[in-house]
Amino acid sequence: MSARELQAERRTPPWTEWIRQGESPATVSEKPEALDDLVVLDCAVGHYGGHVLAGFLGELGAEVIKLEPPGGDPARRWGPPDATVGGEGLAFLAEGRNRYYATLNPADPEGQALLRRLAARADVLIEGFPAGQMDGWGVGYRQLEPLNPRLVYVALSTHGQFGPRALSGRGPEYDLIDQALSGLVFLTGEPGDDRPERMPTRVGSWISAYAQAAWAGLATLAALHWREGSGRGQMIDVSGAEALMRYLEYTILLYHTAGTVRQRMGVYDLAVSVYTFVPVKDGWAFIAGYTDANFGAICRIMGRPELAQDPRFRTTLDRTEPENRAALREEIARWSVNHTASEILAKVLADPGPGVVVFGPVNRPTATLAEAHWWERGCFGRVVDPVYGPLLLAMPAWRMTRTPPRLKLPGRPPGYHNDHVYAKYLGLGPARVAELRARGAI
């Protein structure tokens, strides 16, 4: 190698190039997994937060074993009415990744005995039954802790495992219920009257389940870190309503300090303006620029520099005043509606500053899927699964240079891995598994 080549080799690549290589989706399978020493029992039945949590831990490398009742998890039927795969609901399959599918009947004494033996070998157990149900079956944390003091036991519900409503408020649990209790529904939607489209509004996806899974995953990993030193597991209680409520920023503090009940504001933001949706020639777009410099950039891009000097819009406080905020949105809309989102984005990206405009289209899902950025970064993956055929799935959200998360297996039918799981963990052969199955224990 010549001195010159050596020098070129040693040249530090720019950050973007270096990190692109360091996180390259193409090299993920060559790297180790952060959690691949963990065994997780996914006992969540009919519980989407638990379903997502099991997937999160599986993406990060844990060996996850789903234990569902012999007839299959009722969540397998969840999904839109007009599309299924292999008879399964799309919601279930979207998050059924990276686990071994075994059956076990937790209501059956023999099933309970098997669950106790599995829990004795596990690091984490996830459940989403009504509070106290597992305990009533003799397989709650109270009974499992003596068998395995290192166990981290994660219980997911709407109202939690303690507190006045834990018992009295118990009822069927749905994402919409959690969203309502969290306060997010109250803050979302067009202000107004009792017309249905002007009511407080839900988030379109099962967002409380994702919030619950993220919190439970975070708490589980904190508990596992603490276990390194203490040798002890513990019980973790995560409410889907509280999981989302913790994301509500200053809503409650504003009530405490000013007595003000934060209200829903439609397309506006209480704290900042411009920060809104405007119509464009080909749909809708988001546009923001609320500091003086950034608002000045919006005016420049619109070809309306004089707007920045308009007494209604001169300062950040002027622009957040409700009447001015609406007038300003009208001004922008009159301009934006004559241009496509990509025309405006091109202007935004070409603007030399000062100030920065934040702009982008309101993408329909298929429009997001048409953008190269997400594909290059590996946010989506098309897999051809031997059971379910071709599937388009969202990939893990984290990028990690040393232990990147990954998708290994989208899902499987109930009990698909029974022989493997019961042989590996309990030493039971196929004959014994068949007997247990015939008796309804698994």
Q: Is 296 in the site for other proteins (CB under 8 A)?
A: no
With CB under 8 A as the contact rule, the residue among 235, 387, 423, 434 that binds other proteins is 235
HEC letters along 334-383 = HHHCCCCHHHHHHHHHHCCCCCCCEEEECCCHHHHHCCHHHHHCCCEEEE
Torsion of CA 397, 399, 33, 405, to 10 degrees: 20
Q: Tell me the per-residue interface mask from 33 to 72 with other proteins, x by CB under 8 A, - otherwise.
A: -xx-x----------x-------x---x------------
Q: How far apart are CA 45 and CA 137, in angstroms?
A: 15
Residue among 186 and 422 whose Cβ is closer to other proteins: 186
Q: Is 337 in the site for other proteins (CB under 8 A)?
A: no
Q: Is 286 in the site for other proteins (CB under 8 A)?
A: yes
**HSE, side-chain direction, 13 A CA sphere, residue 204:** 3
Whether 151 contacts 116, CB under 8 Å: no
With CB under 8 A as the contact rule, the residue among 70, 169, 414, 440 that binds other proteins is 169
CA distances from 247 to 183, 184, 221, 296 (A): 10, 9, 20, 31
With CB under 8 A as the contact rule, the residue among 65, 94, 144, 298 that binds other proteins is 94
Q: Considering only 156-164, 298-306, 414-422, 425-433, which stretch makes contact with other proteins by CB under 8 A?
A: 156-164
Q: Is 408 in the site for other proteins (CB under 8 A)?
A: no
Residue among 4 and 256 whose Cβ is closer to other proteins: 256
Whether 100 contacts 417, CB under 8 Å: yes
Burial class of residue 143 in the structure, from the number of CB atoms within 10 Å of its CB (0-12 exposed, 13-18 middle, 19+ buried): middle
Beta-carbon count within 10 A of 181 CB: 21
With CB under 8 A as the contact rule, the residue among 39, 248, 308, 434 that binds other proteins is 248
CB of 101 to other proteins, least distance (A): 18
Q: Is 258 in the site for other proteins (CB under 8 A)?
A: yes
Strands 358-361 and 283-288: antiparallel
Q: Which of 285, 275, 277, 278 is nearest to 341 (CA)?
A: 285
With CB under 8 A as the contact rule, the residue among 120, 150, 226, 310 that binds other proteins is 226
Whether 253 contacts 300, CB under 8 Å: no
Q: How far apart are CA 142 and CA 144, in angstroms?
A: 6
Site for other proteins in 95-154 (CB under 8 A): 95, 131-132, 135-136, 140, 142
With CB under 8 A as the contact rule, the residue among 67, 285, 301, 421 that binds other proteins is 285
With CB under 8 A as the contact rule, the residue among 124, 245, 298, 301 that binds other proteins is 245
Question: In what helix (H) or strand (E) does residue 152 lie, and over which residues does it extend?
Answer: strand 152-157
With CB under 8 A as the contact rule, the residue among 64, 122, 344, 357 that binds other proteins is 357
CB of 130 to other proteins, least distance (A): 10
With CB under 8 A as the contact rule, the residue among 41, 54, 65, 91 that binds other proteins is 91
CB of 148 to other proteins, least distance (A): 14
Residue among 349 and 438 whose Cβ is closer to other proteins: 349
Whether 350 contacts 344, CB under 8 Å: no
With CB under 8 A as the contact rule, the residue among 1, 3, 5, 80 that binds other proteins is 80
CB of 357 to other proteins, least distance (A): 8
Q: Considering only 8-16, 108-116, 304-312, 424-432, which stretch makes contact with other proteins by CB under 8 A?
A: 8-16
Site for other proteins in 171-210 (CB under 8 A): 171-190, 194, 196-197, 199-207, 209-210
φ, ψ at 129 (rounded to 5°): -75, 165
CB of 227 to other proteins, least distance (A): 9
